[in-house]
Structure 1
Amino acid sequence: MEQAFLTAISDHQGILYKVCRLYRDTREDREDLFQEIVAQLWKAYPAYRQEAKLSTWIYRIALNTALTRYRRHTADIRFTDSLPEEAQAEEQESPQLERLFRAIRTLNDADKALISLYLDDFTYEEMAGVTGLSVNVIGVRLNRIREKLKQLLQ
């Protein structure tokens, strides 16, 4: 079981890093959140049933952990328009990608989750499985989110 879990984490670490990036500003906070998500996944892994895709299950736990931790530590978390200088130096990304992440960070938690799933090429049905929303609601909300991001990026 341990090897299967480690393989699952390795295969889906991009999902975990993206969630951490969207919900935390500094590298240290992202690392802490990553560790907490992996711990939650490990606790839940024995109960994983293969009815849902593994990536969907991982996303749901990662998002729930990030949101729970955010709510618990709201006073300690500061969302800013730009990353601190140390994080900018650590994150060697294109300016366009950085602008996109800054714009996404301004969205509410539910919209961040949806756009993150969308950017990872989840189908509307898979998004419904992660979020509990209907496929129709997801379509409408994604259209609104994309429009808002277009405005923010202009």
Structure 2
Amino acid sequence: MKATEKEFLDLMQKHKGILYKISRMYFDHTEDQEDLIQEMTFQLWKSYQNFKGDSQFSTWMYRVCLNTALTFFKKDDKKQDKYELHENYDRIDTDDSAFKEEQLKYFYDAVQELNKVEKALIFLFLEGMNHKDIAENLGISEVNARVKLNRTKEKLQTIIKKNGYEF
């Protein structure tokens, strides 16, 4: 597949939600999320010429973005120490938006206590991916993905209970 700027921009527009979801999963503050989005976009463009269409664009995009997020921290390990739990959360447009917003806040607070790989597992699970797709995106075996995901879900439940987030 020949890499053209228009094709790339069209695909990025169609799947831009992936960028925002991953950045929010890994960072608390808007400025940091924007930095990660910029880095993911750069890495996607840089590697787009290697996208051969063997998988869906979104699958390839998940893999590039998650790998970028996982390695983003390695550039400056000191960065991780400065992050605190975020205070600003997106509004949810539903009838009981205040309640759902509070639940979403608790969820994201709990997710911040997970390590980088656990965040990726939960993100892919929430995106509706099965164990095989999760394994493919993370470059691990399907059995390993299943085990790690189950352990991560248990850890997340423990964090939620520990922090008194249950209703």
TM-score higher than 0.5: yes
Gapped regions of structure 1 (runs ≥ 5):
none
- Aligned-residue Cα RMSD (Å) equals 1.5
- Quote the offset at 1:76 in angstroms: 2.4
Deviations 1:46-102, CA, capped at 9 Å, x for gaps: 11011122112111111111122211122123333x21x4xx1x6335011111111
What secondary structure is seen at the aligned counterpart in 2 of 1:112? helix
Say whether 1:53 aligns with 2:56.
yes
Q: Which has the larger Rg?
A: 2
Deviations 1:6-35, CA, capped at 9 Å, x for gaps: 121112111111111112121011111101
Kindly tell me the number of residue pairs found equivalent between the two proteins.
149
Q: Distance in 2 between matches of 1:114 and 1:123?
A: 11
1:14 pairs with one of 9, 12, 17: 17
**Which stretch of the first structure deviates more once superposed, 53-62 or 112-121?**
53-62
Which amino acid letter does the alignment assign opposite residue 113 of structure 1?
A
Show the counterpart of 2:7: 4
What secondary structure is seen at the aligned counterpart in 2 of 1:47? coil
In the TM superposition, 1:68-87 aligns within 5 A as 68-77=71-80, 78-80=82-84, 82-83=85-86, 85=87
Show the counterpart of 1:27: 30
Q: Distance in 1 between matches of 2:135 and 2:20?
A: 21
Q: Distance in 1 between matches of 2:70 and 2:150?
A: 23
Say whether 1:121 aligns with 2:120.
no
Which amino acid letter does the alignment assign opposite residue 55 of structure 1?
S
The answer on whether the counterparts of 2:70 and 2:117 sit within 8 Å (CA) in structure 1 is no
What secondary structure is seen at the aligned counterpart in 2 of 1:133? coil
What secondary structure is seen at the aligned counterpart in 1 of 2:6? helix
Deviations 1:121-142, CA, capped at 9 Å, x for gaps: 1121111111111111111111
Which amino acid letter does the alignment assign opposite residue 15 of structure 2?
H
Which amino acid letter does the alignment assign opposite residue 90 of structure 2?
E
Show the counterpart of 1:133: 140
Which amino acid letter does the alignment assign opposite residue 32 of structure 1?
D
Identity %: 38
Which amino acid letter does the alignment assign opposite residue 56 of structure 1?
T
Which amino acid letter does the alignment assign opposite residue 91 of structure 2?
Q
What secondary structure is seen at the aligned counterpart in 1 of 2:140? coil
The answer on whether the counterparts of 1:79 and 1:105 sit within 8 Å (CA) in structure 2 is no
Give the alignment's TM-score, normalised by structure 1: 0.89
Q: Distance in 2 between matches of 1:7 and 1:123?
A: 27
Gapped regions of structure 2 (runs ≥ 5):
93-100, 162-167
Q: Distance in 2 between matches of 1:51 and 1:123?
A: 19
